[in-house]
């Protein structure tokens, strides 16, 4: 799951005019991956490339207790939700932000091979849809496109920016699916992932400046 993680961000932005800004929700959607790759750079968590570990990619995510356990993800969600609550002074904004953060673990549970945990120790969990690309690929595109369509329906503004965002999301996903696989895990891979998240967040910020919720007042 890659661009599918942004579907809850788009859905949250569509659900309420009290939701945080779209760029903030994009950060929430990938917050645990932001943390994972930052931790991997300094050696707190780690991964390796094991070709064939799943049909769709070779990421062997064998050590990520602080970001991709259910407990760890919940802690990140609560912290982020409290930060948004303090920044917006709005409980709804904080709850929506926390929901988007925790949605990452739920979506990962669908696609990962068993490498997720409840609290950092076995059992390891994951339904493994990465081994069934004819299910995972249409599912990821469907939830992302549907969420963007709902966001566009619930907000006003020019059509161009969100369509450009969707085009870039699909392009990045195509590169992830069909581009060359990384030969090994390391600094270049981690920085590339963080750079990709930053670009998509910047595009979400741009889209957010061009649209407003139909139920917004003032």
Model pLDDT, residue 217: 67
Count the neighbouring beta carbons within 10 Å of the beta carbon of residue 188.
11
DSSP letter string, 97-111? HHHHHHHHHHHHHHH
Residue 132 has pLDDT above 60, yes or no: yes
> Residue 99: what are its φ and ψ, rounded to 5°?
-60, -45
Where do we find the tokens 């409840």?
118
As a whole number of angstroms, the distance between CA 154 and CA 148 comes to: 10
The pLDDT of 136-148, averaged and rounded, is 97
Average pLDDT over the chain reads 96
The pLDDT of 201-216, averaged and rounded, is 95
Report the run of H or E that residue 183 belongs to, with start and end.
Answer: none
- Measured in whole angstroms, the distance separating CA 35 from the mean position of its chain's CA atoms is 12
Where do we find the tokens 């599918």?
4
pTM > 0.85: yes
| Contacts (Cβ under 8 Å, ≥6 apart) of 106 | none
Residue 218 has pLDDT above 60, yes or no: no
- The closest alpha carbon to 151, from 15, 5, 37, 48, belongs to 15
In the structure, what pLDDT confidence band is assigned to residue 1 with cuts at 50, 70 and 90?
A: confident
pLDDT in tens, 146-176: 999 999 999 999 999 999 999 999 999 999 9
Model pLDDT, residue 216: 83
As a whole number of angstroms, the distance between CA 100 and CA 97 comes to: 5
DSSP 117: B
pLDDT in tens, 50-84: 999 999 999 999 999 999 999 999 999 999 999 99
Environment class of residue 17 by beta-carbon count within 10 Å: exposed (0-12), middle (13-18) or buried (19+)?
middle
In sequence order, what are the beta bridge partners of 46? 63
Helices assigned H by DSSP within the chain: 7-15, 22-29, 31-42, 70-88, 91-111, 133-154, 160-178, 187-210
């Amino acid at each position: 799951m890659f661009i599918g993680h942004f579907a809850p961000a788009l859905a949250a932005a569509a659900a309420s005019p009290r939701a945080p800004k779209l760029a903030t929700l994009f950060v929430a959607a990938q917050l645990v991956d932001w943390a994972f790759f930052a931790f991997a750079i300094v050696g707190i968590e780690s991964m390796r490339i094991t070709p064939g570990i799943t049909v769709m990619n070779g990421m062997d995510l064998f050590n990520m207790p602080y970001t991709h356990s259910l407990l760890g993800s919940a802690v990140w969600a609560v912290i982020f939700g409290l930060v948004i609550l303090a920044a917006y002074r709005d409980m709804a904004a904080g709850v929506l932000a926390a929901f988007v953060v925790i949605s990452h673990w739920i979506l990962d549970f669908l696609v990962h091979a068993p490498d997720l945990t409840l609290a950092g120790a076995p059992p390891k969990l994951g339904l493994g849809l990465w081994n069934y690309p004819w299910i995972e690929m249409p599912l990821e595109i469907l939830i992302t496109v549907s969420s963007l369509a709902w966001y566009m329906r619930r907000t006003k503004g020019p059509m161009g920016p969100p369509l450009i965002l969707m085009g870039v999301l699909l392009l990045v996903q195509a590169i992830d699916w069909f581009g060359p696989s990384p030969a090994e895990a390391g600094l270049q891979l981690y920085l590339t992932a963080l750079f990709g998240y930053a670009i998509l967040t910047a595009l979400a910020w741009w889209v957010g400046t061009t649209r407003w919720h139909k139920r917004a007042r003032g």
